[in-house]
């Protein structure tokens, strides 16, 4: 499949556009926490905004499919892979800084979308800035966390967001304040300000950085809170087996894990994929799982839970 789009001519033109070597026919399982997925025709680690813009222009002109991924911790990639270009954000997109101090100990910080949540939380602790402790132990990038509206313990990223800067597939860079963005439970809804940009609505976008509102606080208290969250995760989440975190969204007023467990599905195994015994909302790769195994397991779980409770579980994980 990959060879159909990536002719030698296209490969040459693409390589000329970027500073780092392109990984051709690149196995995506190495870029996902599930350790599952076939090859991408190409994988490019983008060095800076200028490079990203030239790539997006080239993709439009040459009708090349592309997709941005973060740390791949909420992603199931198909066994056939992806017949286009996968983009990853490189070093230039991993910086953070305080940009202003507000009233009452409030601070605005800016973070590159490629930065890991763990690094951001640690940095905020060093800076004595509170507000991100709930992200402790979530293994994704900031860009992925915006798209997923990642969260835990009753808080999510949209609670601390001030603005998101992204680039549209047409190369338009937009900084949109939080008030003009709509977030829900594990979802960033499409842009809903029609005046903002027709081009931006519905098009694939690359988040490049975010501004967050944090608060000066006592670092000892912040560390205690982070440790408490880490301990809770240790107690409830599977210790081994690659996975993508909670597989299904919690339905209103209930927990997906409780429903799956109530249907007696803990330990259910299809191929190399298993419903975790430690936490029923984790589907784990117990060795050699394919995306097809995970999808079959997902459908079986959905069917059984629906039969038992009438509730259709909706996946939280994104599919590529
Ligand atoms: C052990 C474990 C525990 C987890 N616990 C939690 C938890 O408590 N709470 C929670 O919310 N999640 C949790 N997750 C899921 C996951 O870590 C988060 O959703 C995280 O925010 C995803 O970030 P990512 O960079 O890995 O995104 P990816 O998985 O790479 O991508 C997710 C989606 O975001 C898109 N995307 C990624 N980066 C960008 C970008 N820069 N611009 C535009 N689109 C982008 C991708 O195309 C994809 O559609 C957990 C996962 C694991 C493995």
CA of 75 to the centre of ligand 1 (A): 7
Q: Which atom of ligand 1 is nearest to the CA of 113?
A: 41
Q: Nearest-CA neighbor of 216 among 156, 128, 304?
A: 128
- Mean pLDDT calculated for residue range 13-20: 94
195 belongs to the catalytic site? no
Question: What whole-number distance in Å separates Cα of residue 102 and Cα of residue 99?
Answer: 10
- What is the set of domains in the chain, with CATH numbers? 2-92 (3.30.43.10), 94-236 (3.30.465.10), 256-319 (3.90.78.10)
pLDDT for the residue numbered 269: 98
CA of 47 to the centre of ligand 1 (A): 21
Say if residues 216 and 129 touch (Cβ distance below 8 Å): yes
Q: State how far the alpha carbon of 260 is from the alpha carbons of 107, 252, 269, in Å.
A: 42, 15, 13
Per residue in 119-140, pLDDT (tens digit) is: 999 999 999 999 999 999 999 9
Locus of tokens 């995306």: 291
User: φ and ψ at 285, to 5 degrees?
Assistant: -90, 105
Per residue in 263-273, pLDDT (tens digit) is: 999 999 999 99
Pairing of strands 173-177, 161-168: antiparallel
Question: What whole-number distance in Å separates Cα of residue 22 and Cα of residue 167?
Answer: 21
Percent of the chain with pLDDT over 70: 94
- Mean pLDDT calculated for residue range 300-320: 97
pLDDT for the residue numbered 118: 97
Q: Which of 211, 246, 263, 276 is catalytic?
A: 246
Q: State how far the alpha carbon of 46 is from the alpha carbons of 20, 69, 104, 166, 258, in Å.
A: 8, 11, 38, 14, 41
Residue 210: CB within 6 Å of ligand 1? no
Residue 68: CB within 6 Å of ligand 1? yes
Q: 281: pLDDT confidence band, cut at 50, 70 and 90? A: very high
Residue 141: CB within 6 Å of ligand 1? yes
pTM of the model: 0.94
Residue 140: CB within 6 Å of ligand 1? yes
């Amino acid at each position: 499949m990959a060879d159909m789009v990536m002719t030698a001519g296209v490969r040459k033109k693409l390589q000329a556009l970027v500073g780092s070597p392109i990984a051709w026919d690149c196995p995506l399982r190495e870029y996902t926490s599930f350790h599952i997925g076939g090859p991408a025709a190409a994988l490019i680690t983008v060095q800076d905004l200028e490079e990203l813009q030239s790539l997006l222009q080239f993709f439009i002109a040459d009708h090349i499919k592309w997709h941005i991924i973060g740390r791949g911790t909420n992603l199931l990639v198909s066994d056939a892979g992806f017949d286009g270009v996968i983009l990853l954000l490189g070093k230039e997109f991993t910086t953070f800084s305080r940009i202003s101090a507000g009233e009452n100990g409030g601070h605005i910080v800016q973070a590159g979308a490629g930065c890991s949540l763990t690094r951001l939380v640690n940095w905020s602790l060093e800076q004595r800035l509170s507000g991100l402790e709930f992200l402790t132990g979530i293994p994704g990038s900031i860009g992925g966390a915006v798209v997923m509206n990642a969260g835990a313990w009753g808080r999510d990223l949209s609670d601390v967001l001030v603005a998101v800067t992204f680039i549209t597939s047409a190369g338009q860079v937009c900084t949109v304040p939080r008030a003009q963005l709509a977030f829900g439970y594990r979802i960033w809804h499409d842009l809903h300000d029609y005046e903002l940009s027709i081009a931006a609505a519905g098009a694939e976008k690359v988040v490049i950085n975010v501004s967050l509102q944090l608060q000066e606080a006592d670092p000892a208290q912040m560390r205690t809170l982070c440790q408490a969250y880490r301990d809770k995760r240790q107690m409830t989440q599977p210790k081994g087996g690659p996975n993508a975190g909670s597989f299904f969204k919690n339905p209103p007023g209930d927990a997906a894990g409780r429903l799956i467990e109530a249907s007696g599905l803990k330990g259910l195994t299809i191929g190399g994929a298993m419903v975790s015994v430690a936490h029923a909302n984790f589907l784990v790769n117990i060795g050699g799982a394919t995306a097809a195994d995970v999808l079959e397991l997902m459908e079986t779980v959905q069917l059984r839970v629906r039969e038992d409770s009438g509730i259709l579980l909706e996946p939280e994980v994104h599919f590529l």
